[in-house]
Amino acid sequence: MCNFISKMTDKKDLNLSDYIIAFLSFIPLLGLLFGIISIIFGFTKKSNLLKILGILGILFTIILYSGLFYFGFKTESSYENWNVFTKNNLNKTFIFIEYYKTQNQTYPDSLNYLKEYDEFSSFIDLPKGNEFFYQKVSDSTYYFFGIGKDEKPFTEDDLYPSLSKENLKQSGLIKK
């Protein structure tokens, strides 16, 4: 083992700074740049150790961010955590829909009409990226909810705005 390492580090023109750059490649994200530099130094100075450290640093970043993406967006618990934001957007959009009704005596034909109140409003279910379901039934009633995990409207996993029974009676929202 020691023979192997000594063969990899037997180059006379390697500095401490070359190794520092190689070890900096293990910094997540920023390490990609240092990993590439370390690999280039490995080829120019004919050092396999610098090449290997650069490649391992890049792989570390890829594995770390892949894991973060998976556990942040693709697991059951992450979906439930993102629903907090979706419910917040549902509640805010519900208020805009009702405000639109007070201003125009009818509900909007689509959610795009609400952009005049808040141009940065998000009408999507955050974990899945589906648009909220909105359908005007009449001038005084409408369907509005977030399409649930099964991505089908009018099923049991759909998300509705948080309303008391009194607020639901005063609004035109039809809840199934």
Of 172, 101, 103, the residue nearest 142 (C-alpha): 172
Whole-number pLDDT of residue 143: 95
For the chain, the average pLDDT equals 86
Number of C-alpha atoms within 13 angstroms, CB side, residue 46? 5
Nearest to 124 by CA among 85, 163, 80: 85
Highest mean pLDDT among 28-42, 78-92, 151-165: 28-42
pLDDT tens sequence across 63-101: 999 998 888 777 777 777 788 888 888 999 999 999 999
C-alpha–C-alpha distance, residues 134 and 138, integer Å: 12
| pLDDT-above-90 percentage for the chain | 49
Whether 24 has a pLDDT exceeding 60, the answer reads: yes
Q: Where are the domains of the chain?
A: 2-74, 76-174
Q: Which residue shows structure tokens 């369907």?
A: 143
- What is the Cα 67 distance to its own chain's centre? 13
- pLDDT tier at 2, thresholds 50, 70, 90: very low
DSSP 41: H
